């Protein structure tokens, strides 16, 4: 069931991406021209152009994503911290494997924030959770996110005795379930959860669902800012944020309905 959920989520996510629908619209234009349906081609092409111009100028994805990012406050007050959990997703797995050294992506703050917390609380354990979230690695990746994370944190001076590495999970629900089994937190322990701000509500829900108590959210990697600052001409950036917003909105619905 977990594998079917994983495959379905990837396929549905790909179908709901705005850039997928842009390609579909362009395909409709080409087919309409091939079958001499010029009016249909003009109508679909004009709408597609208008949508692309709007997306290039207006940061519409920010309107969907920012409410999710505001769910938890940044850098909440911390007392005793017994452990730190950092979710995978801040690394470029393919580039890291190709070049043989850690390559961070736009979510790299997951690593840097976890490292800062590990130095601030030197007695706390540091748990990284992440195998591979790519559909192509359904049978397992040659090098997991956890393998790369372990190397990164050791290179930054984190003692191997403090590290807990979970490298089998493929999504947030599996992150939570397998992390709980690995860490086996004692009653009363306080753990800090580090992940991207847009991902934090779904992550907290999954960890609380499996029974993890006394978990403090530590959101990082904010993708939005004031709407006026995002206005301009940046189609690539705006599409990325909109894709993230739609994926997370759908992910929250799917996790809620499936009890994850």
pLDDT per residue over 90-105, tens digit each?
A: 999 888 888 888 899 9
Can you give the pLDDT at residue 14? Answer: 75
pLDDT band at 17 (very low <50, low <70, confident <90, very high): confident
Structure tokens at 31: 């087919």
How large is the average pLDDT for residues 38-48?
96
Among 1-15, 94-108, 199-213, 216-230, the least confident range: 1-15
Domain locations along the chain = 2-69+231-258, 83-220
Q: What is the mean pLDDT of residues 111-122?
A: 97
Q: Which of 213, 134, 217, 204 is nearest to 169 (CA)?
A: 134
- Cβ-contact 6, 170 below 8 angstroms: yes
Q: The pTM is what?
A: 0.89
Token pair, residue 124, equals 């706390």
Number of helical (H) and strand (E) elements in the chain, helices listed first: 11, 5
Rounded mean pLDDT, 13-30:
89
Q: What rounded mean pLDDT belongs to the chain?
A: 90
pLDDT at 140: 52
Half-sphere exposure of 186 (CA within 13 A, CB side): 4
pLDDT score for 135: 45
Residue by residue, DSSP assigns 7-59 as HHHHHHHHHH-HHHHHHHHHHHHHHHHHTT-HHHHHHHHHHHHHHHHHHHHS-
Share of the chain above pLDDT 90, in %: 74
For tokens 């909105």, name the residue.
249
Q: Is the pLDDT of residue 31 over 60?
A: yes
Select from 3.30.470.10, 2.50.20.10, 3.40.50.620, 3.40.30.10 the CATH code of 83-220. Answer: 3.40.50.620
Task: Read off the pLDDT of each residue in 38-47 and give the average, rounded to a whole number.
Answer: 96
Share of the chain above pLDDT 70, in %: 91
Average pLDDT for 207-227: 94
Residue linked to tokens 């790299």: 108
Q: Which two tokens stand for residue 64?
A: 């969907």
- Between 29 and 94, the more confident residue is 29
CA-CA-CA-CA dihedral for 153, 155, 158, 164, to nearest 10? 40
Question: DSSP labels for 144-191?
Answer: -HHHHHHHHHHHTT--GGGEEEE----SHHHHHHHHHHHH-PPTT--E
């Amino acid at each position: 069931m977990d594998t079917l959920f994983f495959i379905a989520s990837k396929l549905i996510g790909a179908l709901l991406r705005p850039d997928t629908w842009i390609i579909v619209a362009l395909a409709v234009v080409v087919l309409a021209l091939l079958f001499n349906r010029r009016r249909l081609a003009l109508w679909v092409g004009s709408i597609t152009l208008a949508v692309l111009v709007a997306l290039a100028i207006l940061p519409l994805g920010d309107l969907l994503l920012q409410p999710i990012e505001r769910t938890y406050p940044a850098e909440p007050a911390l007392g005793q911290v017994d452990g730190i959990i950092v979710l995978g997703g801040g690394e470029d797995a393919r580039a890291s494997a190709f070049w043989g050294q850690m390559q961070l992506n736009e979510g790299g703050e997951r690593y840097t924030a976890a490292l800062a917390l590990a130095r601030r609380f030197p007695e706390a354990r540091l748990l990284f959770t992440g195998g591979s979230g790519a559909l192509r690695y359904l049978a397992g990746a040659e090098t997991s996110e956890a393998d790369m994370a372990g190397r990164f944190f050791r290179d930054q001076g984190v003692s191997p005795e403090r590290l807990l590495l979970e490298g089998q999970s493929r999504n947030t629900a599996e992150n939570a379930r397998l992390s709980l089994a690995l860490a086996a937190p004692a009653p009363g322990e306080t753990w800090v959860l580090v992940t991207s701000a847009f991902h934090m509500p779904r992550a907290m829900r999954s960890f609380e669902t499996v029974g993890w108590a006394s978990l403090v959210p530590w959101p990082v990697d904010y993708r939005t800012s004031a709407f006026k600052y995002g206005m301009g001409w940046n189609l690539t950036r705006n599409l990325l944020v909109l894709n993230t917003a739609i994926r997370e909105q759908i992910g929250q619905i799917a996790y809620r309905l499936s009890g994850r």
